[in-house]
Structure 1
């Protein structure tokens, strides 16, 4: 029997027939896969990956309606004094009538340290009402993340029995998610492990915006083995994504991975804020330039892109773009990078000659009079405008102005 796979590219759905590579009608998709491939709910297949024979991967994604907008948020655990390292990303469609779709949550957390392989299991996780500050790095559990306050409960669930935890745990669960506090993620979705695999969840009761939204609140990871103590925390912020093509002049032993590591060190950005699409890497015909796509993400994506461009133009960044309150940057941190953009006027051409050019030479383009040439060889180059032509143009402009 011929096997079939469901794939989407840019919102177009089709069935891929493994034996022939042909595409069949969308109605076949509805008839053969609807019962086993839900698009909504806990086992939803939306925004998941499908691996095809031969190793290629297709992303199963929904189509954004013109009546809705996508809201993205991230809780970034990148505090060097914190107790977890990674992120929790959330995405949701918000319709203009106020309704919203389910929230898709990606969890990728480990313990701090490049070579830290520790694994702790069964962490509860919650959304609390207030953002956190320097208390995220406090050593003692009793004082850690205390600024977050209490769990977010805008719908006032179970206020009739606020202290009866047994009653709440009987009422709240994955089968009845609307009987849980909005901030009780582990009650609806289960616990998570820190230092193990990544998770993808679908939550039908987690608004990202609006009066009951979780934006600008705190994400709390509780202690292992279903403990109640606050183990780690991070603020939930808007998650932008700016995509930019860059053209970089190759240096000796250049690799895109090393390039990104050097830029992240100067910008102070974790890898989930600044990432390169390695599948887009290509080299120029003369092997002097390399081109690829870079994603600037997180709440400061715009500033990251500006500082990135400044560094490639030869600028200096005295302080990192991504900073944390109460945490001082490393005094040995580099403030510039050895990379430059490829193409256009080079820095050596612009700044190589230190002699002053007169205003006349600048206006007429006769920079060869002061020793300036585009190739740095000292040879004469054609001027932008000859002196007689410039005088003729100036006289014409004065005549028009006087009349």
Structure 2
């Protein structure tokens, strides 16, 4: 690993890894030959197609190894949103139920929630949106109670992108599959940060996203357990097992495979006492010690992503705090529409009042975060808080 990422040199301290990660230079090196020398179509039978075809096969094996899947259970897509759409729409449209039923929860990514809305609107699908508790977790008993004989699919994310809260996926998948429905997990934020084993967890469908794990934007994958039937979103030449037609973007597929292999080798960074977890907790302590009683953790103290810290500072607004700390690149727990800031739906669904939700900061660390970054970020935030 390079000691400093070239894209971060001289810029603000980057603590927005949950939004997107810098592309690892090792990933760039792996994909570069497929932007020039190895230009062939992987479906071609002549020699120009041989290397691209082998590269796609290798990348599929690398992604499969990260999550404990079989190679032929990996379907490459153009984004995590596309993978989520393929999982949900594919399952519903291939179902035999007269009026398919889907269960999800209110803090899912818009790729899930908006797909559910479209299934309701366009296909008469019934969707149950389950609430979450104060830590952002869905109750397995609520999932069990919501299941019906028409339930086709349950979709619950592995980890929330704002708070890092880890859902009880193994228990949810067991309940779902015992009832005979499919279980989909959007693991965009979790893959590469925490161990994921699709066989052990019992999930049927799982989304992995490249730009959340140091590959470029525009590539993702959907794990589809053997035997699961999905209706394709894109029809055509039969690539990706017939589930996603279109000539493969070999360079991006190679990038995702390489990123998956690198992530598998660095999972220890996110374990308790690991490098990233230690830095995250150091940042939290630094803020809490300097502002006793004013720093509030949003989400669970344990059972969250090792890199994610979501805190609210009493008496401040998140967007104003970041604006007053130009040396820091991070996110808030609010959305801005035409200059008006509204509380995060994730945080309000957890029961946070508007003031605390508007005061939230999402500070997410990653591969190139350093102790010096943490000290710089803490100093900048504390100085901004004092000024405000």
Q: Which TM-score applies when normalising by structure 1? A: 0.27
Q: Quick check: which one's strand share is greater?
A: 1
Higher RCO, Cα 8 Å, sep 6+: 2
Q: Quick check: which one's helix share is greater?
A: 2
